[in-house]
Structure 1
Amino acid sequence: MLKVGDKLPEFEGINQDGKTITSSKLAGKKLIIFFYPQANTPTCTVEACNLSDNYSKLKNAGFQLLGISGDTVKKQKNFHSKFSFPYDLIADENHDVINKFGVWQEKKTFGKTYMGIVRTTFIFDENGVCTRVIEKVTSKTAAEQILEK
């Protein structure tokens, strides 16, 4: 998994509107990238909505925001439209970005082991250096976790 001190990996992804988003276009500003397992699921919705509800606070703190999951562009579009998120969602069906960040890992639920996206938030400074990794994301207070120093 990407760690504090690592540079923002170069990546390219398709957002909910079918537009290409590249890491180079995100350079020069503080950046929050949050990975979530699946669009329109209860916990992911709570997290994404908490970030949306607190978007102005995050923006005022100088952050731009990007959500990434392995969903299709169509699923991301539906999720984005349903909740009117003020930030882009990347559809990473091939797991190119997910693998670069190292969040595709073995998970266990109710004794069942499987591979999936581990809910993780990465924070980068203006120089593209990772300053913080939040591995234990609390969906209801995701923005507060990011803003606490």
Structure 2
Amino acid sequence: MAERLTPGDQAPDFILQDKDGKEVRLQDFRGRNTIVYFYPAASTPGCTKQACDFRDSLASLQGAGYEVLGISPDSAKALAKFADTEGLTFPLLSDEDHSVAEDYAAWGEKKNYGKTYMGLIRSTIVVDPEGKVALAQYNVRATGHVAKLRKDLKLDQ
């Protein structure tokens, strides 16, 4: 399992398919600040809340110079349905083998109702224009996360 990323680390590059099957590379976002957030499953209550918070903040985030990428272990087909149902206009990327989540330390041991299992750890990594980690947050809460992220990025001043 990868070590958790910290500010100053080089963000692992990746190539993933979006909801339409088009390849998206992190490298395509060089020169811009990019929020890469990992969520466990499309169309579940917490993930829907978080995605809709990003959707509702997208214009102001982009206005402040930030792009948003959502990554989950869902198939491209599930992501397409999720995006259509919720009106999500930022890229949703499919990481079915969770290799990118592993590279970002967003895949690991979880506990729920006394059971331990491997799964996606809700995480957000902000990548600066040079491809370095500017901010790394792990085990984030779905509700209120975008507001906290905006505060941490000093966007609400």
Instruction: Tell me the TM-score range normalised by the shorter chain.
Output: over 0.9
Query: 2:124, 2:105 → 1: CA distance?
Result: 12
Q: Which aligned segments of 4 or more residues in structure 1 are displaced greater than 3 angstroms?
A: none
1:140 aligns to what SS in structure 2? coil
CA offsets 1:6-34 (integer angstroms, 9 cap, x no match): 11211100000110001111111000000
Provide closer, same or farther for how the CA distance between residues 129 and 12 of structure 1 changes in structure 2, counting only shifts above 3 A: same
Contact 2:30 2:129 (8 Å CA) reproduced: yes
Contact 1:51/1:142, CA 8 A, preserved across alignment: no
The superposition leaves residues 79-118 of structure 1 with CA deviations (integer Å, 9 ceiling, x where unpaired) of 1111111200001111121111111100001101110000
Structure 2 portions without partners, runs of 5+: none
8 Å contact from structure 2 (residues 29, 129) kept in 1: no
Please report the RMSD computed on the Cα atoms of aligned residues, expressed in angstroms: 1.1
Residue 45 (structure 2) pairs with residue 42 (structure 1):
yes
Question: Displacement, 1:137?
Answer: 2.0
- Cα drift, residue 136 of structure 1: 4.0
Contact 2:122 2:141 in 1 (8 A): no
Which moves more between the two structures, 64-73 or 92-101? 92-101
For the residue of structure 1 that corresponds to 2:9, the secondary structure is: coil
Q: Is the 8 A contact 2:106 2:138 kept in 1?
A: no
Alignment match, 2:135: 132
| Equivalent AA in structure 2 for residue 88 of structure 1 | P
CA shift, 1:131, in A, is 1.1
Q: What are the Cα deviations for residues 105-144 of structure 1, in whole angstroms up to 9, with x where unaligned?
A: 0000110111000000011111111111122423222221
Q: Does 1:103 align with 2:95?
A: no
Tell me what 1:55 maps to. 58
User: Given residue 46 of structure 1, which amino acid in structure 2 is its aligned partner?
Assistant: K
Q: Could you tell me which amino acid in structure 2 is paired with residue 141 of structure 1? A: G
